[in-house]
Amino acid sequence: MTTLRDLPSVDELLQTKTAAELIARFGRPLTLSAIRETLDKIRVRFSSGSITVLPLHDLVLAQTDVLLGEWIKPTLLPVINASGVILHTNLGRAPLSDATIRAMDMVSRGYSTLEYDLQKGVRGSRLIHAEQILQKLTGAESAVIVNNNASAVLLVLSALANRKRVIISRSQLVEIGGGFRIPDVMKQSGAKLVEIGTTNKVHLSDYEEALQEQSALIMRAHRSNFKIIGFTTEPELRDIADLAHRAGVFVMDDLGSGALYDTAKYGLIHEPTVQESLAAGVDVVCFSGDKLLGGPQAGIIIGRKDLLDKIKKHPLARAVRADKTCLAGVTATLLHYLKDEAEREIPILKMMALTPKQVKGRVEAWIRELGRGEVVEGQSTVGGGSLPDESFPTFLLSLGVESSDKFLKRLRMQNPPIVARTVNDKILFDPRTVLPEQEGALLVGIKNVFEEI
């Protein structure tokens, strides 16, 4: 009769050629623990009667191989974004420019002047990087880069308004996505939230009234992925800033997207720019590095030097500081703007600038290559919490398939995975968000799916 004693031992298995190959591929400690876990599972199954025959060496090691494969399977993979959503938050927002990638690569490979003063040969500060470029670009007195914009907002409020009143309009108490709620972040910073106005209307007199009591800040938050239309009023930022300054109160603006460029150029509505906020008299402006700016994940804080000095010294600044790759990447992306080459170099701006005719040409080339599909009109969107409801006319590759859900799933199982969308049982691919160097892989992926189905 078979008993568990017939199961090969770890030592026996390790003597085999197959185990040696596994060790070469996965390393000894990981292979050992996978062999042990495989044997444990077999014992449990055998004891419970769900298997009656014990596997031989080869089969045990084949199961070990599968287990090892599952253990090291990467979860963060590059994908082809054919959805037409340019700043797709779930797909990693902005793809980076070549110069940005090179800059990040360079500081990662070796040592750098992250916190080192070359002139003096002593410790320097990481807070100086990109400051000069941001000063030149925006005219701000001072700047600092942190890990992301959520932490930028938290840091500014903590440094300038802890235990103090912060006035904000109810029309701006929004949730941005990923659980980032403006009122919650304000509370987290220790600021005392003072809500004024109503959801659709806030008047200058509401601000005036709230300023009767000693306050630290007026905050303005960009509504991002939310739009209020119809019977609405909101005072001009300039008027709010004037009022605040007369009362000795500062104004911070959480711009979210942080466009340095006028998006109206691409036929979209005008997104408030960083420069406009400063020109309106705002004292501190925060925005993201990986939204409309088109760089790596970062939070950028710019504004008055005395306030920025306070922000930089706050203990939370250390907790949310940017790492060297982020600093190198943001600097390289900002440099594109400074050198007036942003539209030529920054991928998301190139995507926005594509004309419908150019997009159509790409769809037609895909159809020739695939030998199927048709060109249809559609819309691409910006995404990333910017410009809600705004879209650009585009052309799409449309493929008729039997089961769109099944087809989309097969597309996601390709290497690299392909993310597309479906309307009325047609699968739609938007060339606008497919990087030129991914076109070959996209077409191979689509052909594979037709063969698999």
Binding residues for ligand PLP, rule: CB under 6 A, are 148-150, 153, 176, 180, 221-222, 224, 254, 256-257, 288, 299, 385
**Nearest to ligand PLP by Cβ — which residue?**
256
Q: How far apart are CA 164 and CA 282, in angstroms?
A: 19
Nearest residue (CB) to ligand PLP, 378 versus 383 = 383
Per DSSP, the three-state class of 315 is: helix
Q: How far is the CB of 215 from ligand PLP (least distance, A)?
A: 21
The least distance separating ligand PLP from the CB of residue 23, rounded to whole angstroms, comes to 43
Which residue, 149 or 381, has its beta carbon nearer to ligand PLP? Answer: 149
**Inter-CA distances, 419 with 91, 105, 239, Å:** 9, 27, 45
Strand-pair category, 426-429 with 85-87: unpaired
Token digits of residue 114: 């992250």
Q: Which is nearer to ligand PLP, 172 or 398 (CB)?
A: 172
Question: Do the Cβ atoms of 382 and 409 come closer than 8 Å?
Answer: no
Task: Please state the closest distance from residue 53 (CB atom) to ligand PLP, in A.
Answer: 55
Q: Would you say 255 or 434 has its CB closer to ligand PLP? A: 255
For ligand PLP, the closer of residues 178 and 315 by Cβ is 178
Distance, in Å, from the CA atom of 252 to the CA atom of 57, rounded to the nearest integer, reads 67
Tokens 């309307």 locate to 423
Query: Residue 223 Cβ, how far from ligand PLP at the closest point, in Å?
Result: 7
Angle at 342 between CA 338 and CA 345, to 5 degrees: 125
Of 391, 408, 395, 394, which is closest to residue 79 (Cα–Cα)? Answer: 408
Q: Which is nearer to ligand PLP, 117 or 184 (CB)?
A: 184
Q: How far is the CB of 159 from ligand PLP (least distance, A)?
A: 17
DSSP for 389-401, please give it.
Answer: T-EEEEEEEEEE-
Nearest to ligand PLP of 146, 419 (CB atom): 146
Cβ count within 10 A of residue 143? 25
Shortest CB 280 distance to ligand PLP, Å: 17
Q: Minimum Å distance from CB 299 to ligand PLP?
A: 6
Nearer to ligand PLP, 167 or 428 (CB): 167
Residue type, 1: M
Minimum gap (Å) between residue 258 Cβ and ligand PLP: 9
- CA–CA dist 100, 346 (Å, integer): 9
Task: Judge contact between 7 and 39, C-beta under 8 A.
Answer: yes
Element (H, E) at 81: strand 80-81
**Nearer to ligand PLP (CB atom), residue 356 or residue 388:** 388
Nearest to 308 by CA among 278, 340, 265: 278
Contacts of 164 (CB under 8 A, 6+ apart): 191, 192, 214, 215, 216, 217
CB of 225 to ligand PLP, least distance (A): 7
Query: In sequence order, which ranges of 73-214 are alpha helices (DSSP H)?
Result: 98-109, 131-138, 149-161, 182-188, 204-210
